[in-house]
Amino acid sequence: MRIDEESEGVSASRNHLVFAYYVTGHGFGHATRVVEVVRHLILAGHDVHVVTGAPDFVFTSEIESPRLFIRKVLLDCGAVQADALTVDRLASLAKYSETAVVPRASILKTEVEWLTSIKADLVVSDVVPVACRAAADAGIRSVCVTNFSWDFIYAEYVMAAGSNHRSIVWQIAEDYSHCEFLIRLPGYCPMPAFRDVVDVPLVVRRIRRSRKEVRQELGIEDDVKLVILNFGGQPAGWKLKVEFLPPGWLCLVCGGSDTQELPPNFIKLAKDAYTPDFMAASDCMLGKIGYGTVSEALAYKLPFVFVRRDYFNEEPFLRNMLEYYQGGVEMIRRDLLTGHWKPYLERAISLKPCYEGGINGGEVAAHILQETAIGKNYASDKLSGARRLRDAIILGYQLQRVPGRDMAIPEWYANAESELGMGSPTCEMSEKSSLMNSCTEDFEILHGDLQGLSDTMTFLKSLAELDSMYDSDKSAEKRQMRERKAAAGLFNWEDEIFVARAPGRLDVMGGIADYSGSLVLQMPIKEACHVAVQRNHPSKHRLWKHALVRQQAEGKNPTPVLQIVSYGSELSNRGPTFDMDLADFMDGDQPMSYEKAKKYFSQDPSQKWAAYVAGVILVLMTELGIRFEESISLLVSSTVPEGKGVSSSASVEVATMSAIAASHGLSISPRDLALLCQKVENHIVGAPCGVMDQMTSACGEANKLLAMLCQPAEVLGLVEIPGHIRFWGIDSGIRHSVGGADYGSVRIGAFMGRKMIKCAASAILSRSSGAENGPNPDELEDNGFELLETEASLDYLCNLSPHRYEALYVKMLPESILGETFLVKYDGHNDPVTVIDPNRNYGVTAPAKHPIYENFRVKAFKALLTSANSDDQLTALGELLYQHRSQVLRIKATRFTSFRRTDNWRTSTNKSRATCWLDSN
């Protein structure tokens, strides 16, 4: 409805309305669902102006009407694909900035004028952000129709690109906040930018011809198994082969290139083929997940074999819906590309998809849009615009979900009391007692003590439930989480299983100064990672079907295989399972290089997480000469929040290495174990972190701060936390990654600063030594020569005192420098884990200054903690924390509440429920 200050009412009657429908430039899926809504609006007698970058035929092949108007304009770019299965996050942000941010003022001016010229009654967006703002500027109501929003999608990309791109996400959220309400489609992501929501059924294109008619047209008998390959663009250089399909199968190929040659058992469909008819005529579909493919697969009860799309953040929610209705089978990318399709296709045709919901979302949405255009109010007035905007901007971001919580509810709405674990002591004791009794029923403790660790008790209980799940063949188990089903088939329950526990950590003081050699103060947290490991002779190893088929296809006798299941995979859209032959770690008779391993795990970003786990094996092979002759099964379960700066990766590495060491009888000291885990992260994962995370996880103790001098990893002792002091770690909502762009560039800047300081010290020393009358005593303080000699060979930036930095070097360092300029003048920065990009500007002054002053602050903080209790003590500690700036912490003068113990524990269990072996490091 047009809002006109000079007159009330609407600009058109119910019988003839004008809609402006904006369509995102992100793939055909949006255009095809828009077609269904537009078709119903036109059938109702209304004019629809579609603003899109999609080809005309997508709309005109479906709708032949003079009431359809197509305006070819691209106002957002969606997600830029690096290849058919991977989104290029940096390119996506850069392209969006080029498309929608830089020309924003002219876009708004043009759209307001155009909306006024067509006398639009309602603006509809799927899901172009600027359309909502343009509508508001033109005084026209707007509605969004979507299952995701771009603020949610781009929020994850910002972590890789750096915080300077954060304004893009904020602007998108603000644009959406002008929308009156959201028509939300099934399989939706969290979208807090929208105040009001109306849910509708699936929007699905109708079928024109029957299964029998399509098969007759293609000359395919009804008993022939037919798979439709629906990729919307195939991997470059990929060649389909006859042997990809099981005998008696045929494959219909959508979106194949004109020059693509196909084997005789593959049939190329025309580019304008009406895909729904061919889907309904098939027995299953193979492709990548998108709204169109998932909704139509569910509607036609077509089993869907899918391959993950990396950094496509809409996918987890669609995948959850697909799997909930028992319609999905995940295929590993490696098996897609190498043609090991058989086990997945056979599994797919055994499924019984059970979606029984509505498929008339297009009609329902069109009715709501029509009613809104003539004046009906679907929005409530209970929340102000400021509240709407606040909720939108909170996505700073990636919303984190936990099992049992509605994915539509942001976690910051959760009850603070439960988040802080302030439940009734009586309830806690009762719960622990119940868990302890349960554990002793399921397992016999052979060695050690549970120490009251309720999370370890819970993990052991979950292992016992996996055993029961594997033995059960009840239909109810079909709806179990895929991760748990995979884990249930992971172990031989008659044999020993070893379990290790490692906590995350809170960075109290020291921060990213660890790689510059600073003193750091770190505290283990109660959240921890558990890893269960079992070793088996290859002939006894229970392989997943696709791994077994792969070995059989290669004509191999049983060989050692590594299989991993990771719980919580949906939180970061990673694959829940990983498997590889252990022989793949060998390059001839030697372990492969770390560089080759890094490339190996980077082939499929959805499984790159396995580098943190499997990388432990390669490091043990390389550094300690260990050879693994048996198969290994691993289950990883962590409660350490990911992307929150509390060392989720280090806890995984430490727990994994502890469990593997225990299961193979290796004796590794906690310090050495931490240093080995750092090699995993630096050289195989490729994250340039220091060692404090791993050291804290391996060596820390509850209720104490671990004091460590990172030169490279010298534990100075444990600092007792006074009873009147309590530390809080507050989640800022901003995701963190040591592999992110900001972290790496800051580290490079610090190492550049060190190199410049060393060169400057050498130059001063050379000038002073070469003076005719000897050194000028006015230029040098006491012991000046000795200090300059030390600074000319500075191993760690933190060994430079603040007063020397201020007196001699601060004015010599540039605020920033181009990588190429630095390399020409200084040759290199002498950091083994980062590489300078010649075309990038790096900050130098700030990254170099921080660790020099931070080391001084940490020393002062440590001394103050042990000083007399006073208000001055707390004030000084708070001031040092404020100066620290790299963490948001709160220090309170209050009674300290105890944390759970955080040692690492190793456990083994077997089927007899009579063996549970525990040992603390």
Tens-digit pLDDT profile for residues 326-379: 999 999 888 998 899 999 999 999 999 999 999 999 999 999 999 999 999 887
The sign one gets for the Cα dihedral 792, 793, 798, 799 is: negative
Which DSSP string do the residues of 95-131 spell out, in sequence order?
A: HHIIIIITTHHHHHHHHHHHHHHHT-SEEEEES-HHH
Would you state the pLDDT for residue 555?
72
- The CATH number corresponding to 211-350 among 3.40.50.300, 3.90.226.10, 3.40.50.2000, 3.60.15.10 equals 3.40.50.2000
Beta strands in 119-200 (DSSP E): 122-126, 142-146, 181-184, 197-199
495-505+528-686 is a CATH 3.40.50.1480 domain: no
- Residue 724: CA atoms inside 13 Å, Cβ hemisphere, count? 11
Cβ count near 504 (within 10 Å): 29
| Structure tokens belonging to residue 44 | 């109702």
User: Contact at 8 Å (CB) between 296 and 318?
Assistant: no
**Average pLDDT estimate for 6-17:** 52
**Average pLDDT estimate for 109-120:** 97
Residue 642 scores a pLDDT above 90: no
Q: Mean pLDDT lowest for which of 148-162, 352-366, 581-595, 691-705? A: 148-162
Give this prediction's pTM: 0.75
Please state which CATH number belongs to domain 740-767+784-894.
Answer: 1.20.1440.340
Distance CA 531, CA 529 (A): 7
Higher confidence at residue 174 or residue 618?
618
Q: Mean pLDDT lowest for which of 210-219, 393-402, 613-622? A: 393-402
**pLDDT tier for residue 582 given thresholds of 50, 70 and 90:** very high
Domain ranges, ordered by start, for the chain:
18-203+386-391, 211-350, 495-505+528-686, 740-767+784-894
Residue 826 scores a pLDDT above 70: yes
**pLDDT tier for residue 830 given thresholds of 50, 70 and 90:** very high
CA distances from 897 to 453, 613, 703, 730 (A): 16, 33, 9, 17
| Structure tokens belonging to residue 198 | 């109306």
Tens-digit pLDDT profile for residues 453-466: 888 888 988 888 88
Distance CA 632, CA 616 (A): 12
Residue in 773, 770, 768, 814 with CA at minimum distance from that of residue 791: 768
Would you state the pLDDT for residue 443?
63
User: Contact at 8 Å (CB) between 45 and 16?
Assistant: yes
Distance CA 257, CA 270 (A): 10
Would you state the pLDDT for residue 904?
39
Q: Mean pLDDT lowest for which of 1-10, 30-39, 87-96, 865-874? A: 1-10
Distance CA 500, CA 654 (A): 9
Q: Mean pLDDT lowest for which of 122-131, 313-322, 746-755? A: 313-322
Q: Mean pLDDT lowest for which of 142-146, 530-534, 605-609, 780-784? A: 780-784
Q: What percent of the chain has pLDDT over 90?
A: 54
Would you state the pLDDT for residue 569?
76
Q: What percent of the chain has pLDDT over 70?
A: 80
Tens-digit pLDDT profile for residues 153-208: 888 787 677 667 778 888 998 899 899 999 999 999 888 788 788 999 999 999 99
Distance CA 184, CA 732 (A): 28
Residue 471 scores a pLDDT above 60: no
Question: Which H/E stretch holds residue 494?
Answer: none
Which residues are catalytically annotated? 693
Residue 857 scores a pLDDT above 50: yes
Which CATH class, in words, describes the domain spanning 18-203+386-391?
alpha beta
Would you state the pLDDT for residue 431?
52
In this chain, the answer to whether the domains covering 18-203+386-391 and 211-350 adopt an identical fold is yes
Tens-digit pLDDT profile for residues 499-541: 999 999 999 998 889 999 999 999 999 999 999 999 999 988 8
Residue 606 scores a pLDDT above 50: yes
Distance CA 165, CA 161 (A): 7
User: Contact at 8 Å (CB) between 19 and 137?
Assistant: no
Residue 557 scores a pLDDT above 90: no
**Average pLDDT estimate for 101-125:** 97
Residue 911 scores a pLDDT above 70: no
Distance CA 146, CA 187 (A): 10
Residue 647 scores a pLDDT above 80: yes
Distance CA 757, CA 751 (A): 10
Residue 836's contacts (CB-CB under 8 Å, 6 or more residues apart) are 748, 752, 819, 822, 823, 828, 829, 842
| Structure tokens belonging to residue 382 | 């209970």
Taking phi over 0 as left and psi of -120 to 50 as alpha, with beta for the rest, 174 belongs to alpha
Query: Which three-class secondary structure state does DSSP give residue 393?
Result: helix
Q: Mean pLDDT lowest for which of 272-281, 360-369, 879-888? A: 879-888
From the number of C-beta atoms within 10 Å of its C-beta (0-12, 13-18, 19+), residue 731 rates as middle
Would you state the pLDDT for residue 420?
31
Would you state the pLDDT for residue 229?
95
Q: Mean pLDDT lowest for which of 87-96, 284-293, 360-369? A: 87-96
Query: Which three-class secondary structure state does DSSP give residue 83?
Result: strand
Question: Which H/E stretch holds residue 620?
Answer: helix 610-624
**pLDDT tier for residue 733 given thresholds of 50, 70 and 90:** low
Would you state the pLDDT for residue 761?
94
**pLDDT tier for residue 439 given thresholds of 50, 70 and 90:** low
- In 770-891, which ranges are continuous DSSP H helix? 784-792, 802-804, 819-826, 845-865, 871-884
Distance CA 328, CA 308 (A): 12
Distance CA 341, CA 816 (A): 52
* Long-range contacts of the stretch 328-331 (C-beta < 8 A, 24+): 328/303, 328/304, 329/303, 329/304, 329/305, 330/305, 330/306, 330/482, 330/575, 331/286, 331/305, 331/306, 331/307, 331/546
Query: Which three-class secondary structure state does DSSP give residue 706?
Result: strand
Higher confidence at residue 569 or residue 56?
56
Distance CA 187, CA 204 (A): 13
CA distances from 533 to 62, 199, 621 (A): 55, 44, 17
Would you state the pLDDT for residue 41?
97
Tens-digit pLDDT profile for residues 371-425: 999 999 887 655 554 444 444 444 333 333 333 333 333 333 333 223 333 333 3
Strand 142-146 vs strand 47-52: parallel, antiparallel, or unpaired?
unpaired
Q: Mean pLDDT lowest for which of 406-410, 675-679, 793-797? A: 406-410
Residue 781 scores a pLDDT above 50: yes
Would you state the pLDDT for residue 1?
32
Cβ count near 380 (within 10 Å): 9
Would you state the pLDDT for residue 422?
34
**Average pLDDT estimate for 677-684:** 95
Residue 780 scores a pLDDT above 60: no
Q: Mean pLDDT lowest for which of 60-64, 229-233, 902-906? A: 902-906
Please, what's the b/e burial string for 601-639 (b: 16 or more CB within 10 A of its CB; e: otherwise)? beebbbbbbbbbbbbbbbbbbbeeeeebebbbbbbbbbb
User: Contact at 8 Å (CB) between 89 and 156?
Assistant: yes
Residue 83 scores a pLDDT above 50: yes
End-to-end CA, the chain: 69
- Look over the chain and give the mean of its residue pLDDT values, rounded to a whole number: 82
Tens-digit pLDDT profile for residues 218-265: 999 999 999 999 986 667 678 899 999 999 999 999 876 767 789 999
User: Contact at 8 Å (CB) between 120 and 20?
Assistant: yes
Partners of 51 in the β-ladder: 22, 71
* Long-range contacts of the stretch 293-297 (C-beta < 8 A, 24+): 293/29, 293/230, 294/187, 294/318, 294/319, 294/321, 294/322, 295/33, 295/185, 295/186, 295/187, 295/202, 295/203, 295/204, 295/359, 296/204, 296/205, 297/322, 297/327, 297/353
| Structure tokens belonging to residue 811 | 């004015």
**pLDDT tier for residue 442 given thresholds of 50, 70 and 90:** low
Tens-digit pLDDT profile for residues 425-435: 334 445 555 55
Distance CA 838, CA 65 (A): 56
